[in-house]
């Protein structure tokens, strides 16, 4: 009998103290009482079900503090700036603030970096027909379209100084003027800004206006995932369960202890968005097996990283290897070869038809 210790498996999504709140029910309560006490004990998991169907799941004390600040300022008429690295969930925070605000208008998000420089004012404030070439009809801008609601200006740090000045005036006066018009329009729109840029450094460099920063009554700093390890396993379990349900899997794969160790030791430069992608890939890589290994997590992390793809490992299809193991090795080789099945076949010492057959088994459906 072997004395080798079997790897521990468990469902990492499980947590003893899971507190669920629906933002829609809290929003109704907020209309009559602006102060709602949502007390959390240490170790509790807060699961915010947002109005758009997304979820904000928090366990770490650092994230709990950020949520607490958002919750406190949500009902009051103030503009807010959310700071954090890419992929930390800034838009989820903006959505939470809107849901808890009691505002009856829409939540709208505008990616500041995606606006063509020559059309920034039109996007923000709208325009009248004939105001510029191509303006064949009048158009309402985002400030006006989000009336009585919340407008998220995502990546505000990417806006040019001229656009920053226009936004500053709109926030100060609560009035806008459409491009090509002289008529001022009053607005009742809350502004929430978000950025992953260092605004302090930008102000010193003269690329971001000090007075615009000052217009935001409070700033909410979202900590990166590497500083809140308590959230990693909970979020990984959530993504795993969600994606398995979308795939209509009867069994949700369990996670080996070495896989959880890999998750906790990685630095997560892409934060929660990267974790989401890693868990999706780990799930697909694991199928048809029912446990996710540390090797699979390592493979998924490597594939998601932005580092240069390493040289193809000298792997071969050993004789006597089980069918599932051969399939997984072929899939891994194809991924390492950037999807080139012929190159993968050469590295494995098998034919392209064999690789194709393994990929067809791995990805059921149309032939690959």
Q: Which two tokens stand for residue 197?
A: 């840029």
Sheet architecture: strand order including 18-22: 18-22, 45-49, 55-58
Q: For tokens 């709109």, name the residue.
A: 170
Every domain of the chain and the residues it spans: 75-223, 226-307+317-362
Residue 363 confidence (pLDDT) above 60: no
Give pLDDT, residue 365: 42
What's the residue count for the chain?
368
Q: Can you spell out the DSSP letters for 338-362?
A: TT-HHHHHHHHTS-HHHHHHHHHHH
For 27-57, what is each residue's pLDDT tens digit? 555 545 444 444 555 568 888 899 888 999 9
Q: With CA atoms as reference, report the closest residue to 229 among 277, 193, 182, 261.
A: 261
Q: What pLDDT is attached to residue 4?
A: 47
Residue 123, phi then psi, degrees to nearest 5: -60, -45
Among 134-143, 181-190, 308-317, 354-363, the range with the most confident prediction by mean pLDDT is 181-190
Q: What is the pTM of this model?
A: 0.75
State the pLDDT at residue 361. Answer: 63
Tell me the three state secondary structure of residue 192: strand
Domains 75-223 and 226-307+317-362 share a fold: no
Is residue 21 within 8 A of residue 48, CB to CB? The reply is yes
- Percentage of residues of the chain with pLDDT beyond 70: 80
Does domain 75-223 fall into CATH 3.40.50.300? Answer: yes
pLDDT band of residue 342 (cuts 50, 70, 90) is confident
What is the crossing angle of helices 323-336 and 341-348, to 10°?
120
Domain 226-307+317-362 fold: Helicase, Ruva Protein; domain 3 (1.10.8)
Band the pLDDT of 1: cuts 50, 70, 90.
very low
| Better-predicted residue by pLDDT, 11 or 346 | 346
Calculate the CA 148 to chain-centre distance.
26
């Amino acid at each position: 009998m072997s004395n080798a210790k079997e790897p521990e498996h468990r469902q990492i999504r499980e947590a003893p103290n899971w507190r669920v709140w629906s933002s829609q029910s809290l929003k109704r309560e907020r209309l009559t009482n602006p102060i709602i006490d949502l007390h959390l004990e240490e170790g509790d998991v807060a699961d915010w079900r947002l109005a758009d169907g997304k979820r904000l799941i928090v366990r770490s004390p650092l994230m709990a503090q950020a949520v607490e600040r958002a919750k406190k300022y949500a009902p009051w008429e103030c503009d807010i700036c959310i700071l954090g690295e890419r992929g930390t969930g800034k838009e989820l925070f903006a959505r939470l603030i809107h849901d808890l605000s009691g505002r009856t208008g829409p939540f709208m998000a505008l990616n500041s970096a995606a606006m063509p420089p020559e059309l920034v004012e039109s996007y923000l404030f709208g325009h009248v027909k004939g105001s510029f070439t191509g303006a064949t009809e009048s158009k309402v801008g985002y400030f006006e379209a989000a009336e009585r609601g919340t407008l998220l200006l995502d990546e505000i740090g990417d806006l040019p100084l001229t656009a920053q000045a226009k936004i500053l005036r709109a926030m100060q006066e609560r009035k806008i003027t459409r491009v090509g018009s002289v008529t001022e329009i009053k607005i009742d729109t809350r502004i929430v800004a978000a950025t992953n840029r260092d605004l302090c450094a930008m102000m010193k460099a003269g690329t971001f206006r000090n007075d615009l920063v000052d217009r935001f009554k409070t700033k909410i700093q979202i900590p990166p995932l590497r500083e809140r390890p308590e959230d990693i396993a909970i979020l990984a379990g959530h993504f795993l369960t969600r994606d398995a349900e979308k795939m209509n899997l009867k069994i949700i794969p369990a996670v080996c202890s070495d896989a959880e160790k890999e998750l906790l030791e990685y630095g997560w430069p892409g934060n929660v968005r990267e974790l989401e992608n890693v868990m999706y890939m780990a799930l697909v890589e694991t199928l048809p097996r029912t446990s996710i290994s540390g090797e699979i997590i390592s493979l998924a992390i490597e594939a998601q990283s932005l580092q240069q793809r390493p040289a193809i490992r000298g792997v071969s299809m050993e004789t006597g290897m089980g069918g599932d193991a051969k399939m997984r090795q072929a899939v891994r080789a194809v991924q390492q070869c950037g999807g080139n099945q012929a190159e993968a076949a050469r590295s494995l010492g098998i034919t392209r038809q064999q690789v194709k057959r393994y990929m067809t088994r791995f990805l059921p459906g149309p032939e690959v």
